[in-house]
Structure 1
Amino acid sequence: MTSVVRAIALLGFDEFASSQGLDPRQLLMDVGLPVDTPERLESMIAYSRYIALLDLCAKQSGNPLFGLQFGLHQGAQVLGNLLYIIQNAKTVHEALKALKTFFHVHSSGGEVRLEFHGENAWLTYDVTDGDATSVRQDVELAMGVGTRLMQSLLGSRWHPSALQLRHSAAAAPSVYRHLLGVTPRFDSQCNAWVFDARLLDAQLSAADERLQQLIQRHVQDLERITLQELPAYVQRLLWDMLPNGKVTIEDVAGYMMISPRTLQRYLLAEDTGFQELLDKTRQSMSIRYICDSSISLTQLAGLLGYAELSTFSRAFTRWNGASPRKWKQRYIQDQAGRLHAGEAASQQSRPD
């Protein structure tokens, strides 16, 4: 099976390649990756072409540390929505466990592990694609991203005791130390950041357990979703996201780690579109919530992402043939009639 990586792995590529005196468009063409940014924002790209791009950049720039510096440039943002799961964990330990569990959603060509050796924890990265031969650039890029991730989680407390790398040095050890704060141990048995295991107990102040669970469920769903299931999946996202305010196609596409253009194209392939799904979701949500007499119409409008009650009222009338106020009055009357009919039937069935 061909290994793939999410296209967000190219986050900031044009800018960084240009800073290295390279032509990013020509490099992308040379390895067979989309050149135009909108087209490039597909959900997945071939891992083999991704590492070929890194190798070509290192060669043409004359910079053997291209991958490492590119990873430091990208930072943890390159993990896309996985970063939300990580940052909303309760502790650093839970954050790294989430990274390990869901990394394959980001890339099927590599693997992250968390190991314990005495009083130290090892955060390791291995390339699992058996067809990959030259992986130095990808490994060092991953270690650069790992540096930024741990800094984002621990701040000034991040002081690793060692960095182990399987390969030999591509530049003077002092250059590595300048970039990473430590001199790597080259020709080691694994690729790993080594640090005090007690740091894993550090609490993450920004933790939001509900958000973490929500995004985690979406990422799990994303692993097995088919094109035919996509419209229903988008509607489930809308049900979850609408109560927090107005939702755009950019918001939903961001959760799914694809471009808005790609999402719309996938939906059109299933004879629907984002706006149509948004309308259907709002329609069904409005009926469910309007049946709760404790919620006002103004609150309901806000819940469905409408800035004005009048805009919601027009949409509701279009869907249901009556204004929300009249529909709610009719619903209350129907409920009272059913209750009265039920009580009358109950009285008639009682023995004298």
Structure 2
Amino acid sequence: MNSSINEDELFGTLEWPILEGRGIWYQSMYARVGWAARRFEIVLETDHPPIDIELAAPEPKDPSDFLERYGRKIQFNRLRNSISIPAYLLSKRLPQNEDNLYTIIQTSAFRELGLFQNRNSPMSRVANEIADTLKNGTCNLAQVAQNLGMSQRSVQRVLEQEGTTFRKLTENIRKTAAERYLQSTNLPFKEIAFLLGFSELSTFSRAVKTWYGVPPRKIREGGERSVN
């Protein structure tokens, strides 16, 4: 789904096209807007960036961290999908672009997990989609299956043939990529957390401590750790 950027004297606006359909399309748009809002948090170094959000979709029925944080800044059932930010903030320097870096980290993590023995295998396709979907802030079996054009049961069968489950594979991808990011980059912990699909830094820190027995800072410093 391509996006466009427009700028005038007052605002810079990131906008996504309106697509026909319901259900999954709405969920995908909520995830994209949520991811973009988190990027503004990182760039502006604040949990409450001065953004305004418009969505050509109804308000979700289920609560979420995103709705709780930005509820008053979101207008639903509008004529576009967009995030606007004051123009004077557009000159703020972006943090290190992570697109190529993410690919390198992801490839390294997959090699360790033995997922690139055949790049075109169903298992590698599923793993790649999980990793990409994590970056959007929402990763579940239904979304990954939809993105792959497969049924949920078909995805589960692929994973069962490899002796794993959706939850276990997602956890392993997060765990291995987290170690790579912490050891190989200087990205802020909060940005790594968001790239791996964690909504809060504290949740990411607890996960790292569960996986390795030490907090993220110790992994970055190269300290001793246990592996669970």
Asked whether the two chains share a fold, i.e. TM above 0.5, the reply is no
With the shorter chain as reference, the TM-score category is 0.3 to 0.5
Q: TM-score, normalised by structure 1?
A: 0.28
Q: TM-score, normalised by structure 2?
A: 0.42
Name the one with the larger helix percent: 1
